[in-house]
A and B are shown apart, each in its own frame.
Chain A
Amino acid sequence: MEFGPHLLLASLEGAVSAAVLALTAMGLSIVFGVMRIVNVAHGEFFMLGAVLAWWIASMIGAHPAVGFVVAIVIAPLAVGVIAAVADKVILQRIGYDPERTIVATIGLLYILQQAALMTFGPDARPVTPPFNQRIDLPWFEFTKNGLGLFWPWGLSITSYKLFVVLAAILILTGVWLLMTRTRFGLIMRATQQDREMSQAFGVPVDNVFAYVFGLGAALAAIGAVLVVPVQQAHYLMGHDPLLLSFIVVIIGGLGSLPGTVIAAVLIGMSDGIISVFFSPTLAKIVATMAVAMVLVFRPQGLVGKAAS
Chain B
Amino acid sequence: MTREQKSLWLHAAVVLVLGALYFVLPEYHAGNLARIMVLAVYAMGYNLLFGYTGLLSLGHAMFFAAGMYGFGLAVNHGGLPAGAAVLIGIAATLVVSVVVGFLALRTRDVAFMIVMLMFAQTGYLIILYFGEFTRGDEGFVVQQAQRGLFGFDLSAQGIRYWAALILFSACLLGIAKGVNSRFGKALVAVRENEERARMLGYDTHRLKFLAVVLSGVLSGAAGAAYGLLFGYIGSTFATVQYSIFPLLWVLLGGAGTTLGPFVGVLFMFYLIDLSSFLTDAYMFIAGIALLLLTMFAPKGIVGQIRASRVPWLP
Contacts and interface: CB of A to CB of B under 8 A. Distances in A.
A178 B125 CA distance: 39
Given A102-B110, A285-B125, A299-B111, A107 B118 contact: no
Interface stretch (A2-10, A91-99, A125-133, A214-222): A91-99
Interface in A267-281: 279, 281
A100 B290 contact: no
B91 interface: no
28 contacts: A94-B294, A98-B109, A98-B110, A99-B56, A99-B113, A102-B110, A103-B247, A103-B293, A104-B291, A106-B247, A106-B287, A107-B287, A107-B288, A107-B289, A107-B294, A110-B283, A110-B290, A114-B281, A114-B283, A246-B114, A279-B129, A284-B125, A288-B118, A292-B122, A295-B111, A295-B115, A295-B118, A296-B104
A303 interface: no
A38 interface: yes
Given A114-B283, A250-B114, 6 more contacts: A38-B114, A100-B294, A107-B287, A279-B129, A285-B129, A296-B103
Contacts, number: 105
A111 B119 contact: no
A177 interface: no
B interface SS class: helix
A284 B109 CA distance: 25
Interface string A240-283: 00010010001000000000000000000000000000010110
A171 interface: no
- Which 6 interchain pairs have the tightest Cβ spacing? A110-B287, A107-B290, A107-B291, A114-B284, A292-B118, A114-B281
Given A292-B118, A295-B114, A299-B111, A110 B295 contact: no
A104 B295 contact: yes
B25 interface: no
Contacts of A284: 125
Interface of B: 56, 58, 103-104, 106-107, 109-111, 113-115, 117-119, 121-122, 125-126, 128-129, 244, 247, 251, 279, 281, 283-284, 286-295, 298
A38 B294 contact: no
A292 B287 contact: no
A279 B117 CA distance: 22
B247 to A, nearest CB: 7
B56 A288 contact: no
A111 B103 CA distance: 33
B151 to A, nearest CB: 42
Nearest to A246: B114
A165 interface: no
Nearest to A247: B118
Contacts of B293: 103
A92 to B, nearest CB: 11
Contact of A104 (B58, B128, B290): B290
Contacts of A117: 281
Nearest to A102: B113
Contacts of A109: 287
